[in-house]
Amino acid sequence: MAKHERKPKLIDGAYLHAFGLCAPGDEKCDRTPPDRREVAVCKRWLRRNAAPRKTVNRFSHSYSLKHVVERTSGEHIHYVTNGALILAAIELGYRCKRIGDSPNALFNMKLAKS
């Protein structure tokens, strides 16, 4: 690991990469870290459109939310990674729960009604 690289976060037994959550030793997982610009876009969107709740919401699915951010952020970005959305939510204080052995996560968030 180069000096400028950060060790990936360990979340719910998996490491966080741009692809999403990957089990230790999963050779199929791309180890690229989430892009900080994408994380910033996701954080801005989450601040405007989500709020914490007590329990994990089975409808706050990271892969679905990343697509909503791409379509509705109003910013000049056409793609954000699943990992960027997950990292943004964690940095804003949301709890993260991995969905089985998938790269996706659920959060303790409610979304604003549109």
Q: What is the pLDDT of residues 17-69, one digit of tens each?
A: 999 999 888 877 888 899 999 999 999 999 999 999 999 998 889 999 999 99
Count how many Cα atoms sit within 13 Å of the Cα of residue 27 in the half-sphere of its side chain.
0
Q: Any alpha helices (H) in 7-110, and if so which ranges? A: 36-49, 62-72, 82-91
Predicted TM-score (pTM) of this structure:
0.89
Give me the number of domains the chain comprises: 1
- Answer whether residue 3 is part of any domain: no
In a domain, 96, yes or no: yes
User: Per the domain annotation, does 49 fall within a domain?
Assistant: yes
Q: Which CATH number goes with the domain that contains 67?
A: 1.10.10
Residue 20 lies in a domain: no
Range of the domain at 77: 33-111
